[in-house]
Amino acid sequence: MWNQGHERANESRKHLAVATYCLVAIDCPDPAALARFYQNVLGGEVTQDSDNRFDLHAPGGARIAFQRAPDHRPPEWPSGDLNSQQEHLDFKVTDMERAHREVLEFDATPLDVDDRNGERDFRVFANPAGHPFCLCRERNGLGRVP
């Protein structure tokens, strides 16, 4: 239950962080393969943390960890049931057609790539483990988030 005490405590902590961003972790059946997939998409260096985890250190400082989940069930997209997408990653691109062709070469699966006659600035794909991600057309230096 929310009360004014919580609100005052929140105001006094307004600029204090409880945590610092570290990485995004993605569960998958084959962490080495999924790390290579994203290395092909983003560039960067893959390191092995253990047999069950590989990390991608992407240009610009972002880090994505890929963790083995033997019973992994890929999410369904789009779906509003218990097996919905849960999370997805957005990547800005300057050349949508080139990026589209290349992610297909890396074994991505198109999920929703209709640009609605130019009305939509993103396309949805699944990585080889079935997780959705979006390629977002860069406009004025900023990626457009769907």
Q: At what angle do helices 31-42 and 96-105 cross, to 10 degrees?
A: 160
For residues 56 and 96, state if they share a domain. no
The more confident residue out of 37 and 142 is: 37
Q: Determine the structural domain holding residue 39 and report its residue range.
A: 21-71
Strands 63-68 and 24-28, sheet pairing: parallel
For residues 77 and 144, state if they share a domain. yes
Mean pLDDT taken over the chain: 83
For residues 141 and 77, state if they share a domain. yes
What's the whole-number mean pLDDT along residues 98-111?
95
For residue range 33-78, what is the model confidence (pLDDT) as tens digits?
A: 999 999 999 999 999 999 999 999 999 999 999 999 988 888 777 7
Q: What pLDDT sits at residue 126?
A: 94
Whether residue 13 lies inside any domain: the answer is no
Per-residue pLDDT for 14 more than 60?
yes
Per-residue pLDDT for 122 more than 50?
yes
Whether residue 51 lies inside any domain: the answer is yes
Number of C-beta neighbours around residue 85 at 10 A: 19
Whether residue 136 lies inside any domain: the answer is yes
User: DSSP class of residue 105?
Assistant: H
C-alpha of 143 from chain center: 14
For residues 112 and 134, state if they share a domain. yes
For residues 106 and 145, state if they share a domain. yes
Q: Per the structure, how many domains does the chain have?
A: 2
Stretch (H or E) spanning 14: none
For residues 30 and 62, state if they share a domain. yes
Whether residue 111 lies inside any domain: the answer is yes
Dist. CA 95–CA 84, nearest whole Å: 29
* Percent of the chain whose pLDDT exceeds 90: 53
